[in-house]
Structure 1
């Protein structure tokens, strides 16, 4: 029985992880949860799973949750809050496996603490490796910790890598759906609206990651992650547009052989793979995880166009530089995406304002390599401030 901590238990990855625990109750039990600000969902998870510890965003929410648990007659659950609470969840001594799924740098400190505590990590938080990958990978080596990717692309690479040694890998290929604009005329990009950008053709995701998919910044983050997870230079991490999203990644070996991982587009599968590793668990016929070979009737691949997707170019450049460039890339993107999605169109930036903002921030960013998580977070704050200043100077009042 593996005892699981879930950082981001109320999000899509958290709920998918709990679904796996529901399907395999003899194998996996969630005993520590970090639930963010969703009080109702946190209460329901306490009611269903009776974790030993649950963390919620603020002291006020923690008090409300404690009151609701008491009124419901639910006892024996330690309620904590804030970043210290999330670290408590991630480092609980009884925990065997930590699912890191908090969006943004909010999950960074707890994930780093879990690595230093020797926990096996199922990593679904891109920002951890993008912003602090050098520190996290060094800590994982020092403490002999396995970092098992849950992102479908990196999980696919991990599976394919089992077919050879790292020295036998020529390059890896991360597939991308291309988002909703892979065929949109470039002249129309200046007029793309949030409603259009939020219509992803394959996946149902949160707003930021959906916009990142439309700009292909999401794939750029994955390039940086892959460089760090698999100890490869950016030149050996390739991207390809694959609209069917059935091949999740490919690994090309030095002898010319290529292994591809193919599965349903369901995040429960990479989560199950990570939880079970190095075993594989039998997925019942009614699980929805079996793949229909008829879906392979057509497979299309094409090279991404950096003119169409400048965010991908910027990510490759940041990957080459490393250090604060990667931190700034993530921070500026988050600020720019929020500005694009601003409720008041008069205060919002255009779609192409996202890469323009990021590029301006990167031009003002040093190539230093932070030596601690504190320095990473300081660089993150500085990049966000720079992004807001760029937006204020260049885009405020611009209508789409």
Structure 2
């Protein structure tokens, strides 16, 4: 167990420090200075925010997404006399994640860009707080196996899995009959399927509950985000897909539920503020006092309904990939990332997203990669085929660090 004595702090590395989860994590660090300190940061392309984070936290190391952005940050730091090493790309992110002074890594880089660093953090024996679901979707079998070998926890920061983790403390895994992941239903819950061909990017980005990045917002609109969460739950909690269920809950008040064999169901309710699951992960197995309180008197009703998998085929595709595992889940994530990017760029329509993913899955040969290098190879191939299917000329490919293809 990661011990925190009165004279020590949890020393945190943040992958994705300039994103919403990274910024929220730093707010938690600021609120509890006696408990946490910042060791290293991996930022994206936002040099301005990265510079301010360096001035405020003075990490021992920071990495930027590209060499160009790293050079810009170096110049700004030199101008104010800060001598902080600045690295770049995936190799730099790996060094941030494995810094010898860090004992807790928050993995919050969107997509497979954070995969290598997360895996290397686990290999290095770090405690890892996971806000990046794509890591477990693409390489969950490898990551969870290594975490068990290291005997170190993978602590979910995603609100749904964080809720499951909390509810699981009420019984043993052997006593669990089902995990229920709640879904808001997205902006098109009540939109007729006949109108899906006319859905615009602006409409799809208008999420009713959460303010998030563009890709995850589109994934929420197609329910693919919930499909990814099903796969993530299977791997985090060692459950078969049949035991991980999705239920639409528009109020998003209950984040998840766990059903036990005696018929008891434990639910986790809290404010819709990501600082709470971050705080839970950073302080596990303790709980600290916080001001993030839920007003039960404001609770008026809780609605639930089953998801319509014919209307939202991405969820069905995710369950099928979860059953197959391995290459199918890698291809699912890769194809979705390309298809969503093509939709956001106006190249394909909303209904073409699941059609593209299905074509890629149908062409993917079932296999179970035995290394991160093999995972990334399957990922690249799936992205290339998805780009061919959509006609999208700007497919994203992971920037490789220690695993050169």
Instruction: Mark yes or no: TM-score above 0.5.
Output: yes
Q: TM-score, normalised by structure 2?
A: 0.94
**Residue 28 of structure 2 corresponds to which residue in structure 1?**
20
Residues 1:254 and 1:376: Cα distance change in structure 2 (over 3 Å):
same
**Residue 398 of structure 1 corresponds to which residue in structure 2?**
none
Q: TM-score, normalised by structure 1?
A: 0.95
| Aligned-residue RMSD, C-alpha | 0.9
Aligned equivalents of 1:63, 1:309: Cα separation in 2: 44
Aligned equivalents of 2:299, 2:249: Cα separation in 1: 12
Give the secondary structure class of the aligned counterpart of 1:180: coil
Q: Displacement, 1:59?
A: 2.2
**Residue 276 of structure 1 corresponds to which residue in structure 2?**
283
Candidates 69, 89, 100, aligned match of 1:93: 100
Correspondence 1:320 to 2:293: no
**Residue 209 of structure 1 corresponds to which residue in structure 2?**
216
Candidates 124, 132, 139, aligned match of 2:131: 124
**Residue 240 of structure 1 corresponds to which residue in structure 2?**
247
Candidates 47, 52, 55, aligned match of 1:47: 55
**Residue 299 of structure 1 corresponds to which residue in structure 2?**
302
After the TM superposition, which parts of structure 1 deviate over 4 Å for at least 4 consecutive aligned residues?
none
Q: Displacement, 1:296?
A: 2.3
Aligned equivalents of 2:298, 2:241: Cα separation in 1: 31
**Residue 32 of structure 1 corresponds to which residue in structure 2?**
40
Q: Displacement, 1:144?
A: 1.1
**Residue 362 of structure 2 corresponds to which residue in structure 1?**
363
Give the secondary structure class of the aligned counterpart of 1:297: coil
Correspondence 1:177 to 2:184: yes
Candidates 251, 257, 272, aligned match of 2:264: 257
Give the secondary structure class of the aligned counterpart of 2:256: strand
**Residue 344 of structure 2 corresponds to which residue in structure 1?**
341
Aligned equivalents of 1:175, 1:335: Cα separation in 2: 26
Q: Displacement, 1:392?
A: 2.7
Structure 2: 5+ residue stretches without partners: 1-8, 393-405
Structure 1: 5+ residue stretches without partners: 394-400
Q: Displacement, 1:7?
A: 0.2
Deviations 1:26-60 (A, max 9, x none): 11111100002111111010011100110112222
Give the secondary structure class of the aligned counterpart of 1:181: coil
Is the deviation greater in 59-68 or in 295-304?
A: 59-68
Q: Displacement, 1:61?
A: 2.1
